[in-house]
Amino acid sequence: MDNALGEPQTILLLGGTSDIGLAIVRELLSPSARTVVLACRDRAKGEQAAAGLRHDNLVVDVMQFDGAATDTHEAFVRDVADRHGDIDLAIVAFAQLGDGEATSKDIEGAAALAHVNFTGAVTATIAVANRLRAQGHGAIVLLSSVAGERVRKANAVYGATKAGLDGFAQGLGDELAGEGVHVLVVRPGFVHSAMTAGMKAAPFATTPEKVAEVTAKGLRSGRRTVWAPGILRFVFMALRHTPGPVWRRLPLG
């Protein structure tokens, strides 16, 4: 249960080694936080991340989790709750970027990417949402992306998975609004993280820490959607309505 100041005491990070996810966890860790669960497909990497968070009064549990193994998600969330009780905040951060335009030509690669980023994210979120619904409280942070706001030719499959996930999260948020469960959709632009390592930064590039600040502020003020940085909301308002022939010529990678 959140403490009297609305600070989460038990946090579940799905994609437990995500740079953005970990920055959000660090931003939200208050002295009263009791437990962080890092749900990771690579436990060794998860243990490294856990070492950076652990302190005397905080339990950091690294649990095996595969976003692609959709038939395990319900049991996984049950296991988290059996071990640690109520989940106050779940952050859905796992995703893969794929190989840009190559993925749009690769049937198997596209299917794998869509399966993890969309299907797996949807099933994991439903598993968490069902648990929070039963508790009658809690929040879910979903990492969407500006890439889904207007899908670019340079990463059509990734962008489409984010567009789909964003739409799902909005609908789920509306559904859960009367049940004490809050859903926050986070739409970052280019973020310097493991996912974008070696890539040329896009305009308005930001850091995991800045995304985390915006997310924490959004949670505290009950927002349903936040952009990181905030100016991208207005940039994409214009880009969304840019005529196709102009859009296709924009140097957006």
Ligand X SMILES: NC(=O)c1ccc[n+]([C@@H]2O[C@H](COP(=O)([O-])OP(=O)(O)OC[C@H]3O[C@@H](n4cnc5c(N)ncnc54)[C@H](OP(=O)(O)O)[C@@H]3O)[C@@H](O)[C@H]2O)c1
C-beta of residue 98 within 8 angstroms of C-beta of residue 109 = yes
State the catalytic residue, choosing from 76, 158, 190, 236. 158
Please report, as residue ranges, which positions from 87 to 146 form the binding site for ligand X (by CB under 6 A). Answer: 93-96, 116, 143, 145
Look at the block and give the residue holding tokens 């109520």.
86
Least distance between ligand X and beta carbon 210 (Å): 12
From the list 3-11, 25-33, 41-49, 176-184, the region that binds ligand X by CB under 6 A is 41-49
Residue 151, both tokens: 């899908």
**Has 158 been annotated as catalytic?**
yes
* 52 or 243: CB nearest ligand X: 52
Nearer to ligand X, 178 or 203 (CB): 203
Provide, rounded to whole angstroms, the least separation between the CB of residue 161 and ligand X. Answer: 8
Within 8 A by CB and 6+ apart from 4, the residues are none
State which of positions 159-218 bind ligand X (CB under 6 A). Answer: 188, 190-191, 193-196
Structure tokens at 217: 């502020």
* Site membership for ligand X, residue 37 (CB under 6 A): no
- Give the x/- contact pattern for ligand X in 211-250, rule: CB under 6 A: ----------------------------------------
Q: Which of 8, 15, 138, 218 lies at the binding interface for ligand X (CB under 6 A)?
A: 15
Give the Cβ contact number of residue 108 at 10 Å: 8
Q: How far is the CB of 121 from ligand X (least distance, A)?
A: 8
Site size with ligand X, rule: CB under 6 A? 27
DSSP letter string, 201-225: PPTT-B-HHHHHHHHHHHHHTT-SE
């993890």: which residue's tokens? 116
Residue whose pair of structure tokens reads 């595969």 in the numeric block: 66
Nearest residue to 18 via CA among 166, 128, 117, 165: 117
> Would you please indicate which residues are annotated as catalytic (active-site) residues?
158
